Amino acid sequence: MSLGIAVGWTLRLRKAIFPIAKAISTVPAMIYGPYLVVMMPTFTSASIFVIFCGTFWSLFMNMINRVGTIDQRIVNTARILNVKTRVMLFSVILPYTLPRILNELTVSLSISVMTLTVAEMIGADRGMGFYVK
């Protein structure tokens, strides 16, 4: 979450990283599942990485978008009050972005569970995906 805030807040980082992250985040996490099951040393590590891919990219992109689209009147008001950058990030930006991120987290976790089930169908000897198969 802090990486998303940093990229969304810093214009140079946003211009450099956002296009790359947008291209990577369009690939569904279910596509990574079979490859990760084969490439990772254990199925547990593959499962953890599949869940990470399923949640990280959508949360990262939403954080960048939310921080990048904050109303400039809020930021200007905080600057007029001589609020330091660290305080602004944790007292203004984070509370502004948190409701949308928590909403997105439920969607991301459900996608991760679906992806994990697909990965279990391919390479596991236990779990919901194995029993569905």
Token pair in block for residue 66: 């939310």
Q: Which of 132, 113, 129 is nearest to 54 (CA)?
A: 113
**Tally of CA atoms within 13 A in the half-sphere of 78 that contains its CB:** 16
Q: Check whether 54 has a pLDDT greater than 80.
A: no
Domain spans of the chain, in order of start: 2-132
Q: Which residue has the tokens 């949308």?
A: 100
Q: Check whether 44 has a pLDDT greater than 80.
A: no
Q: Check whether 23 has a pLDDT greater than 80.
A: yes
Q: How far apart are CA 12 and CA 53, in angstroms?
A: 25
> What's the whole-number average pLDDT of the chain?
83
Q: What is the pLDDT of residues 78-129, one digit of tens each?
A: 889 998 888 888 888 888 888 888 888 888 888 878 877 777 777 667 777 7
Q: Which of 98, 71, 118, 107 is nearest to 4 (CA)?
A: 98
Mean pLDDT of 36-55: 80
Task: Give the 3-state DSSP-derived string for 36-88, with helices as H, strands as E and coil as C.
Answer: HHHHCCCHHHHHHHHHHHHHHHHHHHHHHHHHHCCCHHHHHHHHHCCCCHHHH
Task: Rank 43-47, 61-65, 123-127 by mean pLDDT and report only the highest.
Answer: 61-65
